[in-house]
């Protein structure tokens, strides 16, 4: 039986009031403000395993996982130790280290299409740099992205962007110049024809297609049969590069990411989040002859004082070697996620609430839509966001911490137990009843 008690949130409310005077919108990244679900954010004090605690002392089961990276749960012992030990040896040198070799070996051994890899400090940096490299390599200017996909906040990608940008109704940001915007062409996810049309018109000047091979930033939308292969064929035909943005899916859907699961090799891959075990990090890599165009060996410039940071590398190497050496983690994630999916489906049926649940591996989204399925950005946008907001608040009250937006993922981690899954299924039923 699920227990819900009225939560005290006074300290969080006060902290947010102060934050709003000092930090734009009170937050350092927009969706954290809970604006679209019309709630005040809870301020986090600490996290361990599958749980987080706010500064008022409330406990939550966490299904946000810092928006993806905490696939082994929070404050995993081996990762904490690795970071502590690294910190004692110094927090940054701006010089090469052995652990960077180790990370590069781990990444290239787990993601076979990545022959060489460059570390950066965020997913945004990874995609921004990969695009520059694609342009430098092909000598072309245009990039094709998909409406509703999010690739960080570099100018070229804030065109029909997903994630916080759609959640807040800001798919096209002011401040992006017309000159930048005109070099970004947009197509429709799961619609090869929309891509072909762009290539028929502009094929000689398209440097790359970039996409989330499984969309996560419009909520979870899976690629339909043949979509990824079709994109690969189009890029090959026109001499453009295919970039998979695996910032969410990398090391989550399999040790080799979505590209392993779907058997399609991109030319370049962008990675982030998981590879830092929660520390600020990103990476991009791919075919050696493309990566060799980067400075200092090649002419395409990209750099970073803190890139390959020893703390991030220490956390990341434990994270990746754990995932590499215990493949059963993925089987367990699949089992628990399937259990949750089945539970939510049964709850939808029982309560009569209209909804579609899309899942692959340990990422899923419950869309509050009357549609039978969600296969495109257009389908995702039919969701009732007001209903999601009330579902979110009800879940939070029963100690379940979900993404404060309809257009995000729910993540299962290795730290979630079967009891945790049973608890969220019970909370889900209550929340559905209340919407």
Residues that bind ligand PMP (CB under 6 A): 67, 122-124, 127, 150-152, 163, 212, 216-217, 245, 247-248, 272, 282
DSSP for 214-255 reads: SB-BTB-BPPPTTHHHHHHHHHHHHT-EEEEE-TTTTTTSST
8 Å CB contact between 411 and 68: yes
Ramachandran class of 301: left when φ > 0, alpha when ψ lies in -120 to 50, beta otherwise: beta
Strands (E), 150-303: 184-187, 206-211, 241-245, 268-272, 282-286
Q: Which is nearer to ligand PMP, 262 or 394 (CB)?
A: 262
Q: Which is nearer to ligand PMP, 12 or 269 (CB)?
A: 269
| 86 SS3 class | helix
Which token pair is 63? 């299904």
CB-closest chain residue to ligand PMP: 123
Q: Least distance from C-beta 143 to ligand PMP, angstroms?
A: 14
Which token pair is 155? 């100018």
Q: Which is nearer to ligand PMP, 222 or 431 (CB)?
A: 222
Q: Which is nearer to ligand PMP, 131 or 435 (CB)?
A: 131
Q: Least distance from C-beta 284 to ligand PMP, angstroms?
A: 11
Residue with tokens 């982030």: 272
**Whole-number Å distance between alpha carbons of 23 and 1:** 41
Q: Least distance from C-beta 394 to ligand PMP, angstroms?
A: 25
Beta bridge partners of 272: 282
8 Å CB contact between 24 and 16: no
**Residues involved in catalysis:** 150, 245, 273
Beta bridge partners of 203: none
Q: Which of 326, 391, 329 is nearest to 365 (CA)?
A: 391
Q: Least distance from C-beta 273 to ligand PMP, angstroms?
A: 6
Q: Least distance from C-beta 204 to ligand PMP, angstroms?
A: 28
> At how many degrees (to 10) do helices 192-202 and 227-238 cross?
10
* Buried residues in 96-119 as b, exposed as e (16+ CB within 10 A): ebebbebbbebbeebbebbebbbb
Which distant-in-sequence residues (6+ apart) come within 8 Å of 419 by Cβ?
A: none
Residue 220 CB-density burial (10 A; 0-12 exposed, 13-18 middle, 19+ buried): buried
Which token pair is 374? 């969600």
Q: Which is nearer to ligand PMP, 124 or 405 (CB)?
A: 124
Other CB atoms within a 10 A radius of the CB of residue 175 amount to 7
Q: Which is nearer to ligand PMP, 124 or 260 (CB)?
A: 124
Q: Which is nearer to ligand PMP, 153 or 416 (CB)?
A: 153
**Whole-number Å distance between alpha carbons of 244 and 264:** 10
Q: Least distance from C-beta 228 to ligand PMP, angstroms?
A: 15
Q: Least distance from C-beta 322 to ligand PMP, angstroms?
A: 21
């Amino acid at each position: 039986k699920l227990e819900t008690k009225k939560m005290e949130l006074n300290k969080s409310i006060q902290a947010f009031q102060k934050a709003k005077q000092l930090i734009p919108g009170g937050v350092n990244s927009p969706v954290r403000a809970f604006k679209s679900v019309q709630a005040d954010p809870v301020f986090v004090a600490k996290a361990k395993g599958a749980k987080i605690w706010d500064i008022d002392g409330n406990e939550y089961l966490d299904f946000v996982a810092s928006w993806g990276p905490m696939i082994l749960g929070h404050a995993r012992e081996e990762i904490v130790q690795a970071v502590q030990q690294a910190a004692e040896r110094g927090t940054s040198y701006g010089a090469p280290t052995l652990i960077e070799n180790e990370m590069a070996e781990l990444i290239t051994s787990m993601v076979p299409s990545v022959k060489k890899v460059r570390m950066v400090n965020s997913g945004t940096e990874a995609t921004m740099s990969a695009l520059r490299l694609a342009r430098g390599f092909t000598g072309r200017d245009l990039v094709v992205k998909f409406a509703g996909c999010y690739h960080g906040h570099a100018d070229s990608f804030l065109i029909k962007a997903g994630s916080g940008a759609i959640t807040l109704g800001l798919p096209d940001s002011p401040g992006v110049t017309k000159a930048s915007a005109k070099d970004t062409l947009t197509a429709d996810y799961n619609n090869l024809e929309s891509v072909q049309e762009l290539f028929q018109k502009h094929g000689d000047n398209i440097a790359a297609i970039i996409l989330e091979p499984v969309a996560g930033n419009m909520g979870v939308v899976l690629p339909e049969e043949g979509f990824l292969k079709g994109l690969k064929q189009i890029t090959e035909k026109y001499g453009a590069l295919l970039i998979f943005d695996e910032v969410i899916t990398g090391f989550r859907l399999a040790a080799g990411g979505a590209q392993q699961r779907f058997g399609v090799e991109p030319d370049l891959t962008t990675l982030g989040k998981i590879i830092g075990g929660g520390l600020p990090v990103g990476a991009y890599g791919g075919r050696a002859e493309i990566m060799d165009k980067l400075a200092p060996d090649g002419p395409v410039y990209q750099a970073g004082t803190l890139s390959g940071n020893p703390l991030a590398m220490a956390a990341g190497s434990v994270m990746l070697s754990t995932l590499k050496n215990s493949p059963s983690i993925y089987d367990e994630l699949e089992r628990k996620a399937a259990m949750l999916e089945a539970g939510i489906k049964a709850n939808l049926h029982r309560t009569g609430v209209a909804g579609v649940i899309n899942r692959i591996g340990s990422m899923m989204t419950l869309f509050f839509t009357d549609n039978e399925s969600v296969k495109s950005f257009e389908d995702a946008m039919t969701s009732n966001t007001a209903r999601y907001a009330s579902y979110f608040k009800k879940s939070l009250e029963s100690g379940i911490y979900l993404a404060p937006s309809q257009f995000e993922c729910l993540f299962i981690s290795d730290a979630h137990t079967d009891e945790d899954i049973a608890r969220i299924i019970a909370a889900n039923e209550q929340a559905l009843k209340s919407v």
